[in-house]
Amino acid sequence: MRSDPRKALVVLSGGQDSTTCLYWALDRFGGTAVSAITFDYGQRHRIELDCARRVAERAGIPHACLPIDTFRALGGDALTDDAVAVRDETDADSGLPNTFVPGRNLVFLTFAAAWAWPRGIGNLVTGVAQTDYSGYPDCRESTLASLEQTLRLGMESDVVVHAPLMHLSKKDTVLLAERLGALDAMALTHTCYNGERPPCGHCPACRLRAKGFREAGIADPLCADA
């Protein structure tokens, strides 16, 4: 199916990166062409869903929240299983942190493409990045390129998957957010792995976020609000 190359759907988690991507999409495709989708996958931190809704509201774009309750049933990771605490160190067997939710980004983008298909939306935008991160294999450029090809084949579409933060450091992501006028929206975002707001400041996600703002020389509006 031919989709409209002027329309874009942003996978919005309510975090810093996907919010930056939303503003990137607004800048590139224009305000009336952008919509967002959020997945309620049984994440422990329900606050993310509220953040996503508020970010979309502020940006003035249509926003859908879709339920996917299967990840929680799978269990075994720190973001969906209440019995698993977030740990700093990587697992000795997998080499991955226990915040890795297997298949999450693959499923998100597949559902996003399925949402986009009947609506004729030709672009998907995701905040994944392979730099400065925890080494999640579903955030790699090669994974996304392969998935884009699979979506095109599997849905007979010409959808394009954009990952504008793919090669940016956290510092550069903050600078991009500033350039796009997304800093105010950052006060509405959520990053902390411990689900705390104001953020706990010591979990891996908080430390990475703080490092990015510090290196960019910009105060984090989320912490300014706290």
Interface positions with Zn ion (CB under 5 A): 192, 194, 199-200, 203, 206
Q: How many residues does the chain have?
A: 226
Nearer to Zn ion, 169 or 194 (CB): 194
Q: Measured from the CB of residue 14, what is the shortest distance to Zn ion in angstroms? A: 14
The nearest distance, CB 127 to Zn ion, in angstroms, is 18
Residue 187 CB partners (closer than 8 Å, separation 6+): 221, 222, 224, 225
Residue whose CB is less far from Zn ion, 86 or 113: 86
Q: Phi and psi dihedrals of 14, rounded to 5?
A: 95, 0
Task: Supply the minimum distance, in Å, between the C-beta of residue 100 and Zn ion.
Answer: 17
Q: Identify which of residues 24 and 193 has a Cβ nearer to Zn ion in the complex.
A: 193
Choose between 109 and 222: whose C-beta lies nearer to Zn ion. Answer: 222
Q: Smaller CB distance to Zn ion: residue 62 or 198? A: 198
Contact in structure between 55 and 11 (CB atoms under 8 Å)? no
Cβ partners under 8 Å of residue 179, min gap 6: none
Quote the least distance from Cβ 133 to Zn ion, whole Å: 16
Q: Say if residue 106 is exposed, middle or buried (CB neighbours under 10 Å; 0-12, 13-18, 19+).
A: middle
| Identity of residue 159 | V
Q: Which is nearer to Zn ion, 10 or 222 (CB)?
A: 222
SS3 state of residue 65: strand
DSSP assignment letter at 130: S
Q: How far is the CB of 213 from Zn ion (least distance, A)?
A: 14
Spatial distance between the Cα atoms of 164 and 168, rounded to a whole number of angstroms: 8
Distance between CA atoms of residues 101 and 71, nearest Å: 8
Query: Considering the complex, what minimum distance in angstroms separates the CB of residue 192 from Zn ion?
Result: 3
